[in-house]
Amino acid sequence: MQVCSTVHELRTRLDEGRASGQHVGVVPTMGYLHSGHRSLMDRARNDNEIVVATIFVNPLQFGANEDFSVYPRDLARDSALAEDAGVDVLFVPGVEEMYPDGVVMTSVDVPELGSVLEGRFRPTHFRGVATVVAKLFNLVGTATAYFGEKDFQQLAIIRQLAKDLSFPVSIVGCPTVRDHDGLALSSRNQYLSAAQRAQASGLFRALSAGADQCAEGEPDPRAIEATMVAVMDEVDHDGIDYLAIVDSQTLGDLDVIADPSKVRLLSAVRFGATRLIDNMGVAQDARGVFCD
Ligand code: AMP
């Protein structure tokens, strides 16, 4: 596995590969890799001749009071995981390589998709994500990019920007990988105390209860949201930012559920200072997969 930190090395390697007919698969991450990231790498490995994983904790997508400086980092462990997954190129740029002037004057924004749900609580977050992903797509060039459904709103925004800005990048969404009790794997789970970790699986049960009720034909989105809140409140938590059922394409609110296959249930719940997000669709195969 080649580890590189400069745009020049990355482009040279990928251009050479494409010139000899190789397809490029890219898995963007912020590192502190787990089995969720591994599932994206496995899919990319299966589909492409060259697999690039990127690790960049992007300051643009963190709010002023968020966890940028303490976000977990462990390059040695991440390199071993990526190598084991058969990654060919691990791109680990420093902040100065990505933002040489320190400030970025250009930004990419998808306000209709980015201002709802997470956007109400993290108003600058998706602009930071969309900007860095657009930049990364420009660095990588023609490729297939793999993203997790775990970040469902992010995935919708990235699909939209790739289409709107004509990036030569196909977007593939991959199922959420969950721990045995249903908690979606996340680099941020390590912030949880043992007691909070035990409570956190309530989030999966709340979403599952809402998805079940929807599958049984409940047409009223407010009734489903009330069910999710009631199940969530069976465990100790420190606040529900949202537990919502929305249109899976537009992420807009629904007055009535006409087709359960076209909705998504999304949530953000706080446990102490840790904020966890999760989501699911109604069909069993839209609820994620359990890790071994
Ligand atoms: P992050 O490092 O958190 O920015 O995540 C990098 C990529 O991994 C994103 O596309 C995430 O959606 C995806 N990802 C994170 N957690 C999971 C998970 N539990 N299952 C599947 N994909 C995930």
**Pocket (CB within 6 angstroms of ligand 1):** 29-30, 36-37, 39-40, 147-148, 150-151, 174, 176-177, 184-187
Average pLDDT over residues 29-45: 98
- Mean pLDDT for 27-41 is 98
**Among 151, 177, 203, which is best to mutate for testing ligand 1, by the most ligand atoms less than 8 A from CB?**
151
What is the DSSP track for the chain? -EEE-SHHHHHHHHHHHHHTT--EEEEEE-SS--HHHHHHHHHHHHH-SEEEEEE---GGGS-TTSSTTTS---HHHHHHHHHHTT-SEEE---HHHHSTTSS-------HHHHSSTHHHHSTTHHHHHHHHHHHHHHHH-SEEEEEEGGGHHHHHHHHHHHHHTT-SEEEEEEPPEE-TTSPBP-GGGGGS-HHHHHHHTHHHHHHHHHHHHHHTT---HHHHHHHHHHHHTTS--S-EEEEEEEETTT--B-SS-S-GGGEEEEEEEEETTEEEEEEE-SSGGGS-EE--
Q: 77-136 pLDDT, tens per residue?
A: 999 999 999 999 999 999 999 999 998 999 999 999 999 999 999 999 999 999 999 999
pLDDT digits (tens, 9 = 90+) for 235-247: 999 999 999 999 9
Q: Which tokens in the block code for residue 66?
A: 């968020």
- Give the model's pLDDT for residue 54: 98
* Residue 96 alpha carbon to ligand 1 centre in Å: 24
- Enumerate the active-site residues: 37
Q: How far is CA 156 from CA 85, 104, 130, 134, 206, in A?
A: 26, 23, 11, 14, 23
The Å distance, Cα 252 to ligand 1 centre, comes to 23
Q: Does 150 score more than 90 pLDDT?
A: yes
133, HSE (Cβ side, Cα atoms, 13 Å): 34
Q: How far, in Å, CA of 38 to CA of 32, rounded?
A: 11
Residue-wise pLDDT tens digits, 266-286: 999 999 999 999 999 999 999
Confidence at residue 255, expressed as pLDDT on a 0 to 100 scale: 98
| Mean predicted confidence (pLDDT) in 157-180 | 98
Decide: 157 and 121 in contact? Cβ < 8 Å. Answer: no
* pTM assigned to the model: 0.98
Residue 292 has pLDDT above 90, yes or no: no
Structure confidence at residue 168 (pLDDT): 98
**Ligand 1 centroid – CA 250 distance (Å):** 21
| Residue 43 banded pLDDT, cuts 50, 70, 90 | very high
User: Tokens 């809402």 sit at which residue?
Assistant: 210
pLDDT digit string, tens, across residues 179-238? 999 999 999 999 999 999 999 999 999 999 999 999 999 999 999 999 999 999 999 999
Is residue 76 exposed (0-12), middle (13-18) or buried (19+ Cβ within 10 Å)? exposed
For a pLDDT cut of 90, what percent of the chain falls above it? 99
Among protein residues, the one with the nearest Cα to ligand 1's atom 6 is 29
